[in-house]
Structure formats: C-alpha cells, structure tokens
Structure 1
C-alpha cells in the first residue's frame, strides 16, 4: 500500500442513533487502534443516541453534538430540526478544527452528516461506510464529497453520486462471531450440538409478533422434529411469552437463572441473549428481523435464515436487505403482515425436513459473508490518510 507515511495518527469516527450505525464504527476504531496502537480515536455522535452510552464503555473519547432527524413533511418541527442541524454543523467544525484528524470516517445516522460535512469543508479526507442495500439519506448526500464509500452490497452503487469511488467491503462484525465454537456454545445453553437448533429473536428489545408466531408453532414443531428451539423474547415481553407458552400446552418452568426451559430440555425461552456469538454458533436456522448487522453476522457464519423485515423502518430498508439475501439463496422472507404460527411452522418444518435445503442456504450465506470486512474498511481509511485512492 503506497502513499505518504502516516506520522500523526488521528482518526475521527462519527455515526449513531442506532446500533446499526454505532457498532460498525466501533469495529473500525478497534481495527485502526490494533494497527496503530499510538493512534488517537475520537467518536462524535448525538446527545441523545445510544452512542453516548456505548462508546465510552469501549474506551474511545466521545464528543456530543446537537442533531436530530428530519421530518418528512414541512412543519414547525422541521424548522426547529433545521436549526439544530446548523448548530450541529458549527459544533462539528469546531471539533474538526481542534482535533485535526488524518481521516474522518462516517457510518451513517443523523450524527454522521454534520461531522463528515465539516471535515470535507476543511479538507479532511472522508470515508463513509454504508450498511444497507439502499444507502440512507445521510450517506447518499455525503457520497458527493467522500474520498471512498465502503459498501456492504454491490447493488448499492447505483444510489451514489460518485459510484466510481465505492469499494465493496462488507459490514464489519464483532470478531467473536467467527471464533465461537459450536460444541462449546451448545453446552453453554445446555443444548446437544448433534441436533439441529432453531434460534428466534426480534432484536435487542424483542418482537411480539415473532414471539407469538414462534411459540404458537412450537408444539407441532417439537412433536414432529428432533430439534432444539431457542427464543429471545425481549426483557419486557418475557412474562407474557411464558404465559403464552403455557396456554399453547408447552410444559416449561423458569429456572434460577431466569430462563424458561421445557421439561424435555429441547425448548429454551429467555428474556435476552447476552452471548449472541455463541447462540449463532450453535444455530442451524435463525428467525429474525433483517437489520444490516444481523444479516452480516448470519452471512459471515453461514447461518440460513427466515427473515421477517421490520415493517416500520424508514425507506423499507429491512425488506430490501432481506430480499438481497433471498435472491442469493441465503434466506427466505416472510413479511410481517403474513406472519402467524401456521406460516412459521410450515417454513421451519419444510427446512428441518430437508437437510439439503439448509446446507444449500448455509453455503449461499457464506458466499455473501465478508468475515474480513473490518480489515477492508480500515484499508480504505489508511489509503485515504496516505492520499491513495481506493478503486471500485
């Protein structure tokens, strides 16, 4: 990798609002710090986003700016939001001027916009990373000034102002996703690694629609298939989910660790999965939403999925993510409005009955996966710092 030598190593990261924007930035920051242990990392985000809590916990310096999302219709709130955006831009200019980064890296979200714009205005090379098939409004705008746009999907190019500056890198994931072993992971949940395991979850807060459909399908699935089933309900939906399990005839008790287990041991219902890398390591089929990070982790591990896109995400990006996986043979898609116990039982049952179908989907998923995505994105950042172009 040729170019000027990087002497002063300062990297500015910006993104936030949701984990889908924050976690890739944290992964990129860790990779840069691993390459340059003496580097300075500064993360800029919104005052009210998750980033204010998550970023300091990993040891990065955090600065907050004033920012909020735009309403999609003209109103007094829109005017107020515009005022906050201007304030955020001036705050970002002050931060960039003081920190003097080699490169500014944006991972999307409203907080990323003013920071990357300020960096571009001040001559700092900008690298942005896009997680979804359809780039968000912030990244579509910033792609005009970015030195490099790191993409997770090749079809995202057509949405960019300057597609020739894009590079297909994939979506950075946690390294633990790839290092977790099936046998040890199954044992940590009290499961048998020799039997297929079906894992269902609806994100960190759970999804009532998924909980209801999965629990409703369990009696028939457990009776017909020698398989194991895990469900993460979301902490505030655990009690109602256990009540539903009792109503559909599942004999399960809550153990001392706060987890519901069937008498036969083949069904586990828990409020939250704290060790998701281990859960994915022992899963042969996953039922979940279609967030960018989740899909990247599934693909990297080669886990087949039934994807149920969240119906209320802006620009319907989850369905577009899910359809991209479906088109590659790595997943099947069930729309939220079509989801019920009978539909889910049919889909899960058809796959558990055909091991070859699961194997084909797993192979297709691995073909989509980019386990080394964080390295590729970091390469783009280093090239930008050296004044070298990353070519599509």
Structure 2
C-alpha cells in the first residue's frame, strides 16, 4: 500500500513554485562529500508555540552543526507557525490539519475524520516526495500526525518529540512507527509501548532564553528609568487565559499600591487584550501587552512567573530558574497541564492553583506569599535550575545526525 501511494504521485502534482525549496535528488556519498552536506530534514509542528518553538530550537542547533543542511517546516496555513517559522528563518509549506475532537467516539471522528486524514496524508506524501527528506521530526499539533504517518508509509526515518509529562493519542500511535521517541520527563517513558525507543532529553528551549539576558537588561527594556525591586510576569498564553486574566483584573491594582518597587508585566493573549485594556487602568508599574515578542527579556526581568502549565512554559521556567505559580488549563487534552504542574511542584516547588481554586484573593495571597519571602524565592530558583535539562536541543540534534549518518 505504501509503495502504491508513493509511486503513484507525480512531481507535477504540486507545482514547485508553490513550495519554498528546490527538490534535489539524493546524492551518493563519496569520500569527497560529507553526508551531512546533503541532509534534508522535515519538521512537522503546528497549532501553539508549545509545538512550534521546540522544533525551531532543534533546527537552530542543527543549523549550527551543519550549515548546509536543508530544512522544511510543515504546518497549517492559518496557525501561528505560518508566521513564526519564516520569522525564524526557515522554509515553510502549509498542509491540512486533522483535528481530533472529543469525545473520541464522536460522529465527526467516526465518519468525517477518516476522509480528512486520508486527504491530509496524501497531501503530505506529495510534499515528502518532492523534498525527499532523510528524516521527519514531529513535535506535535494536528498537522504533525498526518505528516508523520506519511513518513512512516514511505519508509522515511521518523522521530517524535513529546513535550508533556503525559502523552496524547496521536503520539501514542506514532510511537509504533518512530525510530526514536524524545521525551521531556522520565515519567513519560512508561506511557509508551516501546520504552526501548525512548530517550529522555528534556524540552528544547529557544536559544534566546538559553543565552540569558541579565535581570538589569530585562528591567530596563520594560521599565526604563524606574527603581525596580521586584517584577511579576503573568503569561496568559499566546491566545489568552480567561480565568487568569479575570483574576488579575481584581489583583493588579492592590498589589501595586501595597508593594513599593513592585512591577507587573502582564501578557493577556491576543484575543483577550481589547477587553483587558478596557478594564485595566493605566499604572506606571504595569505593562499590559497582548503578546511578548521579547519574552526572553521578560523572563530575565522576572522574580516570579504566573502562568498556565504548558510543557514548554514549564521548561522555560526551569531553564531560567524562576519561581512560579502555575494555573493549569482544565481544557488541555488528556489533562496534560495538570500533570505538568504537579511535576513542577515536585521538582521545583511551584505553587499550583487549579481553576476551581482560583479567585482574586487566592492569586493575590499566592503572589504575596512568594515575593515577600526572599529565602523561598531563592530556594525555588535553585530547585528549578537543578531540574532543568538545558542540553535538550543538542542531544536531539545529535540523535538526528546519528540516525542520518548513512545518507546515500
């Protein structure tokens, strides 16, 4: 079946000018030609920054190791990957996503999903035929599943990278075809059928965070000329976190009025920003933003981070050594965020507040209880740094190179 699909595709199916690369046939390695010079890698990632930024971090590291390698990112045409990937300097081509709805046995999944999946796999088979990659890396999102299945059908080597402490259905299925499974946490290994394929690497964190701006530089960026003693950074996610935003509306003014030298950087999310901007009064100690493009400087400035518990945010908190209050989304698939938050509480002492517990008083008390206790903040910071896996990008890049060392 795989041979039928693959051999029946014609190069003219997708005009070359529609794709951001020039397909080249695989060159036979010789003594004068390094295999890495011809290395072609596809990344399948989409939906949220938690899927996209790990892929970009891995690609960045691969590019430093092998500047001549060719990359292609596959994602949805309307997702944030369509702008984030080109902005990071990598080629991007769109592919249809395959959204899995809950409950799993819904009418959509039973009757429509098979046809959507087949169409998306066929589209991805064409992309893979034209780019002719040596390896495909899937980091998640609805577009990742059909791209990785297409790789499995055509015999292309496959790596999947699971960011969360508990995996979803898609990666559970893909793990059956993957050559290697890169996981962020030791506890994730037990979730897979083939534990022998698992490599615990941590989550790849973007280079801008790993390079680490100074606290002074971060504070000057957001509050130039102010005498800043402490900074609380509130991350509502790229799209927003309604419960966190509502709680903060009733908290920020009291916190700022009762704590001289305290400043707040508050990312509301793009969708929530207009409403929050209309409700929040201007204050010199508050920076309200829909999205933080220079989030590396926000982390640098922070003494405390209040956030959802997405896997990548948790990894960034660990890598930057920040005390944190985590409010996991109850809507995350398979309860990922609650499990991530519980793990963070164990390894880094993060304060976890569920949405059922969240109100303005609970959030205010949690923030005040941490920023008033310097020894506690120092302990939380030390535990976070100790638990961080800062070489994830390098380890995954080296694994990719080792799997493609026999390029022919």
Shorter-chain TM-score category? 0.7 to 0.9
Q: Tell me: CA distance 1:53–1:272, structure 2 relative to 1, closer, same or farther (3 Å).
A: closer
Q: Tell me: CA distance 1:8–1:239, structure 2 relative to 1, closer, same or farther (3 Å).
A: closer
Q: Tell me: CA distance 1:70–1:274, structure 2 relative to 1, closer, same or farther (3 Å).
A: closer
Q: Tell me: CA distance 1:335–1:101, structure 2 relative to 1, closer, same or farther (3 Å).
A: same
Q: 1:184 aligns with which of 208, 211, 217?
A: 217
Partner of 1:21: 51
In structure 2, list runs of 5 or more residues that go unmatched: 1-33
Shift of 1:190: 1.4
CA-atom RMSD in angstroms: 2.3
Q: Tell me: CA distance 1:100–1:238, structure 2 relative to 1, closer, same or farther (3 Å).
A: closer
Partner of 1:272: 291
Q: Tell me: CA distance 1:55–1:231, structure 2 relative to 1, closer, same or farther (3 Å).
A: closer
Q: Confirm whether residue 170 of structure 1 aligns to residue 202 of structure 2.
A: yes
Deviates more, 1:136-145 or 1:379-388: 379-388
Shift of 1:62: 2.5
Q: What whole-Å deviation, never above 9, does each CA across 1:33-92 have from its counterpart, x for those lacking one? A: 222111111222234433333333333332333332123223156422210111222222
Q: Is the 8 A contact 1:171 1:370 kept in 2?
A: yes
Q: Confirm whether residue 66 of structure 1 aligns to residue 101 of structure 2.
A: no
Deviates more, 1:66-75 or 1:132-141: 66-75
Q: What whole-Å deviation, never above 9, does each CA across 1:187-240 have from its counterpart, x for those lacking one? A: 111165761211112112332321232232234433443422222223554454
d(CA) in 2 for partners of 1:377, 1:205? 29
Q: Confirm whether residue 207 of structure 1 aligns to residue 226 of structure 2.
A: no
Q: Confirm whether residue 131 of structure 1 aligns to residue 166 of structure 2.
A: no
Q: 2:378 aligns with which of 359, 367, 371?
A: 359
Q: Tell me: CA distance 1:22–1:69, structure 2 relative to 1, closer, same or farther (3 Å).
A: same
Q: What whole-Å deviation, never above 9, does each CA across 1:142-195 have from its counterpart, x for those lacking one? A: 111211111111110011121111111111122111332111110111165761
Partner of 2:402: 383
The number of equivalent residue pairs is 369
Matches within 5 A, 1:253-292: 262=283, 265-292=284-311
Task: Give the SS at the match of 2:266.
Answer: strand
Matches within 5 A, 1:225-304: 225-226=259-260, 227-238=262-273, 240-246=275-281, 252=282, 262=283, 265-304=284-323
Shift of 1:367: 1.7
Deviates more, 1:180-189 or 1:230-239: 230-239
d(CA) in 2 for partners of 1:58, 1:212? 33
Report the TM-score, using the length of structure 1 for normalisation: 0.87
Q: 2:74 aligns with which of 44, 64, 67?
A: 44
Report the TM-score, using the length of structure 2 for normalisation: 0.84
Deviates more, 1:349-358 or 1:202-211: 202-211
Q: Tell me: CA distance 1:211–1:94, structure 2 relative to 1, closer, same or farther (3 Å).
A: closer
Q: Is the 8 A contact 2:235 2:307 kept in 1?
A: yes
d(CA) in 2 for partners of 1:271, 1:108? 24
Partner of 2:25: none
Partner of 2:351: 332
Deviates more, 1:45-54 or 1:336-345: 45-54
Task: Give the SS at the match of 1:105.
Answer: strand
Q: Confirm whether residue 101 of structure 1 aligns to residue 133 of structure 2.
A: yes
Task: Give the SS at the match of 2:74.
Answer: strand
Task: Give the SS at the match of 1:336.
Answer: coil
d(CA) in 2 for partners of 1:193, 1:155? 43
Q: What whole-Å deviation, never above 9, does each CA across 1:74-123 have from its counterpart, x for those lacking one? A: 31564222101112222222332332222111112222222222222332
Q: What whole-Å deviation, never above 9, does each CA across 1:15-38 have from its counterpart, x for those lacking one? A: 212221122112222222222111
Task: Give the SS at the match of 2:265.
Answer: strand
Q: Confirm whether residue 160 of structure 1 aligns to residue 160 of structure 2.
A: no
